[in-house]
Amino acid sequence: MSLTTAHSVVAPSANAKLIAGTIIVAYALISIVPLLWIFATSFKTPPDSIAYPPKVVFQLSIEGYCNLFTTRTRQTPEYINSLGPATGFCDETVRKRNMVIAGPSNFLPRFVNSLIIAFGSTFCAVFLGTLSAYGFSRFKVPLADDLLFFILSTRMMPPIAVAIPIYLMYRELGLSDTALGMILLYTAVNVSLAVWLLKGFIDEIPREYEEAAMIDGYTRLQAFWRTVLPQATTGIAATAIFCLIFAWNEYAFAALLTSGTAQTAPPFIPTIIGEGGQDWPAVAAGTTIFLVPILVFTILLRKQLLRGITFGAVRK
Amino acid sequence: MADVHIRNVSKSFGEQVAVSGLDLHIADGEFVVLLGPTGAGKTTTLRLIAGLERPDAGTIHIGGHNATALSPAERDTAFVFQQYSLYPHLSVYDNLAFPLRSPARKMPEDQIRRRVEDVAKMVRIHHKLSNRSTKLSGGEMQRVAIGRALVRKPAIYLMDEPLSSLDAKLRGDLRLELKRIQAELGATMLYVTHDQIEAMTMADRIGILADGVLAQIGTPREIYSEPANLHVAARLGQPAINLLPVGLLPDGGAPAGTQTIGARTEHLSIDKAANGHADGIVDWVEHLGDQNHLHVTVGAKKLVTLTDPDTALEKGDKVTIRYRAPLYFGADGQRLM
Ligand SMILES: Nc1ncnc2c1ncn2[C@@H]1O[C@H](COP(=O)(O)OP(=O)(O)OP(=O)(O)O)[C@@H](O)[C@H]1O
Ligand SMILES: [Mg+2]
């Protein structure tokens, strides 16, 4: 047994595995250090966060999170003393810095904007992408190759090239600073990726499945729903993650087109720095929370994602 | 069940002619086998009947109605595909129930259950109903695929090499079973294969397809003993028919215009040369167990026939060869008599 594996052409040797493993672990560690640093910073006190040399061991504090979710005003110690006892943990923390909580910050609504826009546009892009990929895969579309190339070519242009036209267009149409506008924009950007990825997946599903269903009395749409879609879930999940990551992280257009009610988290988080000195723990806290949805989504769909990335190579 | 009448149907894919001028009538309850080499247009013929392809010309009538322009769902056929038979995301039970659950059919679940269980018994897959369809062996998958066609009572069953992926033993078993089921149901069936044993044993009539043209259709006996042309003659018989130029061996009764003589084992008598004169030399005796293939060199030609397992002939023996009412073919490949 050991002899055959040692000489096997396909199974990597123990040495190769060790080297590959070391490289992967090293790369993973290097990649995760900034994230760990952000995570740690979010639990530091503001003085600790800018201490030099940087503190690896520090006093745990949730001041960053308190500052993230609230707006505060500076008051005299006499005024603060004249108030009743602190109403909560954050209240107490803030008072130590001679501040009182004035109200909730904009972080929560901005975060919710991000959720609505990212998930909304992902849904639209995947929905439209699946239908058009199916169309391209199964029907004789006139000029299919040219159309597919055109769809892809929308991704070749640097986004900044169309920033000004889109800005003007959106202002004319009243789409500036609206969730609908951002969903439309991200859908338009993502749908090309979705069509291409999903076409690959749907091409791999033999058309005999739908044909069998259609012979058995299903309409094409019913056959698509009952036979193609269940087998395309892997591809759809992988595509959804790619679309979601793009829409979630997008900064340039969000900064240009949203400023108030529809502002997303990426352009909002940097503005935290300005409020009351350089509040790195609050920024780090915002970033940490910002990472959570993508993390959860990716972990939930990691199997599909892995198959999505390696598809063609290991799909049976 | 119903009869199917194909009239002058042609289908091309771009330059590639897949089916050309096909005329075929399958009577109600008849088992017709289409036999032909790869690329002959067998699958295309089935797909045309099922409505998965539209003919470029010609008409298809199912049960007396013109179905040429109908969608697959409206035609009431059942299809067993050459491959990719089962839905991988469904259990065996759900695979079998799938055709009955079509929204157009609106069959109640308890009726579906009864039908599925009946068919599962028929194709001997009853013990695996709750399995995932991907967790079956090849033979079991194929039985489910056949079962999925049998749950319905369509106008015609279309089967595209349903047994081709199975081992010889299972193939033999299922062949008999399928024939029995077909006879029991009185089903109209068009069955595609390139296995001549399947064709010979199951068919009421065999149609020989070559390059999209139906070369001949008839009972297995007719096709075997009265082939219309060289191509049909070469399709049936194991070992394949020997095609020899006229004049190679003494051929007393050859009709005028004969160019090729077709000789199967039963058309040749081969004996050890007694004295001096010989027609050929034994090249090789191929032992296959229950029978032997005898390879004989005649001039520049080679002959293969069956012999008894206990034949006395050996490599290097000189033999005399005589025709016994062989088949005669003219210059155009058509049989003369
Ligand atoms: N969708 C298609 N597009 C282009 N050409 C096709 C298509 N389907 C079939 N053909 C061509 O038509 C011819 C007949 O094909 P068909 O599948 O009917 O052969 P077959 O007899 O079923 O062969 P096999 O025994 O290999 O299954 C072949 O030359 C094939 O290449
Ligand atoms: Mg075929």
Q: What is the 3-state secondary structure (H, E, C) of B3-28?
A: CEEEEEEEEEECCEEEEEEEEEEECC
Choose the closest CB to B88 out of A212, A213, A231.
A231
Q: Do B72 and A211 touch (CB under 8 A)?
A: yes
C-alpha distance from residue A94 to each of A70, A105, B333 (Å):
10, 14, 102
Ligand 1 atom closest to Cα of B40?
21
Q: Is the pLDDT of residue A14 over 90?
A: no
C-alpha A14 to ligand 2 mean position (Å): 45
Work out the minimum CA distance from B5 to partner chain A, whole angstroms. Answer: 19
Give B273's pLDDT tier (boundaries 50, 70, 90): confident
Q: Do B72 and A208 touch (CB under 8 A)?
A: no
C-alpha distance from residue A240 to each of A122, A183, B81 (Å):
6, 14, 33
According to CATH, the superfamily of the domain at A108-266+291-309 is MetI-like (1.10.3720.10)
C-alpha A12 to ligand 2 mean position (Å): 39
Mean of the pLDDT values across residues B118-128? Answer: 88
- In degrees and rounded to multiples of 5, residue B61 shows phi and psi of -110, 130
Q: What confidence score (pLDDT) does residue A38 get?
A: 93
Q: What confidence score (pLDDT) does residue A255 get?
A: 92
- What is the rounded distance in angstroms from the CA atom of residue A77 to the CA atom of residue A100? 10
Instruction: Dihedral sign for Cα B138, B139, B144, B148, please.
Output: positive
Mean of the pLDDT values across residues B274-286? Answer: 84
Here the tokens at position A188 are 């338009």
Q: Kindly report, residue by residue over A61-116, the tens digit of the pLDDT.
A: 888 999 899 888 888 888 888 888 888 888 888 888 888 888 898 999 999 999 99
Here the tokens at position B257 are 């215009």
Mean of the pLDDT values across residues A244-265? Answer: 92
Q: How many CB atoms lie within 10 A of CB A307?
A: 17
Q: What confidence score (pLDDT) does residue A311 get?
A: 52
Ligand 1 atom closest to Cα of B192?
22
Q: Do A216 and B99 touch (CB under 8 A)?
A: yes
Q: Do B72 and A209 touch (CB under 8 A)?
A: no
- What is the rounded distance in angstroms from the CA atom of residue A219 to the CA atom of residue A147? 27
DSSP string, B274-328: -SS--SEEEEEEEE-SS-EEEEEEETTEEEEEEE-TT----TT-EEEEEESS-EE
Residue of the CA atom closest to atom 8 of ligand 1 = B44
| Chain B, window 119-178: residues with a beta carbon less than 8 angstroms from a chain A beta carbon | 148, 152
Q: Is B337 helix (H, G, I), strand (E, B) or coil?
A: coil
**What's the gap between Cα A4 and its chain centre?**
45
Q: Are strands B318-323 and B280-287 parallel, antiparallel or unpaired?
A: antiparallel
Here the tokens at position A106 are 């904009």
- What is the rounded distance in angstroms from the CA atom of residue A154 to the CA atom of residue B84? 36
- What is the rounded distance in angstroms from the CA atom of residue B79 to the CA atom of residue B85? 10
- What is the rounded distance in angstroms from the CA atom of residue B113 to the CA atom of residue B6? 35
- What is the rounded distance in angstroms from the CA atom of residue B177 to the CA atom of residue B1? 19
C-alpha A180 to ligand 2 mean position (Å): 51
C-alpha B162 to ligand 1 mean position (Å): 17
Interface test with A, best of B48, B52, B150 (most A CBs within 10 A): B52
- What is the rounded distance in angstroms from the CA atom of residue B62 to the CA atom of residue B150? 18
- With left for phi above 0 and alpha for psi between -120 and 50, is residue B61 left, alpha or beta? beta
Closest Cα partner for A73 from A226, A281, A275?
A275
Mean of the pLDDT values across residues A232-240? Answer: 89
C-alpha B143 to ligand 2 mean position (Å): 19
Q: At B208, which amino acid appears?
A: I
Mean of the pLDDT values across residues A20-42? Answer: 94
- What is the rounded distance in angstroms from the CA atom of residue B133 to the CA atom of residue B85? 10
Closest Cα partner for B243 from B306, B329, B324, B325?
B329
Q: Kindly report, residue by residue over A131-173, the tens digit of the pLDDT.
A: 999 999 999 889 989 999 998 888 888 878 889 999 999 999 9
Q: At A97, which amino acid appears?
A: R
- What is the rounded distance in angstroms from the CA atom of residue A67 to the CA atom of residue A47? 14
- Which residues have C-beta atoms less than 6 Å from ligand 1? B 13, 16, 18, 36, 38-44, 82, 194
Q: Kindly report, residue by residue over B203-249, the tens digit of the pLDDT.
A: 999 999 999 999 999 999 999 999 999 999 988 888 889 998 888 88
Q: Is B323 on the interface with A (CB under 8 A)?
A: no
| Chain A, window 183-222: residues with a beta carbon less than 8 angstroms from a chain B beta carbon | 206, 208-209, 211-219, 222
Give B185's pLDDT tier (boundaries 50, 70, 90): confident
Give A117's pLDDT tier (boundaries 50, 70, 90): very high
Q: Is B84 on the interface with A (CB under 8 A)?
A: yes
Exposure on the CB side of residue A76, measured as CA atoms within 13 A: 3
Exposure on the CB side of residue B72, measured as CA atoms within 13 A: 25
CB-neighbour burial class of residue A236 (10 A; exposed 0-12, middle 13-18, buried 19+): buried
Mean of the pLDDT values across residues B310-326? Answer: 86
Most trustworthy range by pLDDT among A62-66, B56-60, B251-255: B56-60
Q: Do B102 and A222 touch (CB under 8 A)?
A: yes
B12 forms beta bridges with: B17
* 8 A C-beta contact, residue A278 and residue A67: no
Three-state SS letters, A118-183: HHHHHHHHHHHHHHHHHHHHHCCCCCHHHHHHHHHHCCCCCHHHHHHHHHHHHHHHCCCCCHHHHH
Here the tokens at position A232 are 């395309």
Give B274's pLDDT tier (boundaries 50, 70, 90): confident
Q: Is B52 on the interface with A (CB under 8 A)?
A: yes
* 8 A C-beta contact, residue A192 and residue A211: no
Residue of the CA atom closest to atom 17 of ligand 1 = B43
Q: At B299, which amino acid appears?
A: G
Choose the closest CB to B84 out of A206, A214, A217.
A206
Quote the mean pLDDT of chain B.
Answer: 89
Give A315's pLDDT tier (boundaries 50, 70, 90): very low
Q: Could you state, in order of their start, the residue ranges of all structural domains in chain A?
A: 2-42, 46-105, 108-266+291-309
Kindly list the structural domains of chain B, giving each domain's residue range(s) and its CATH number in brackets, ordered by start: 4-235 (3.40.50.300), 242-329 (2.40.50.140)
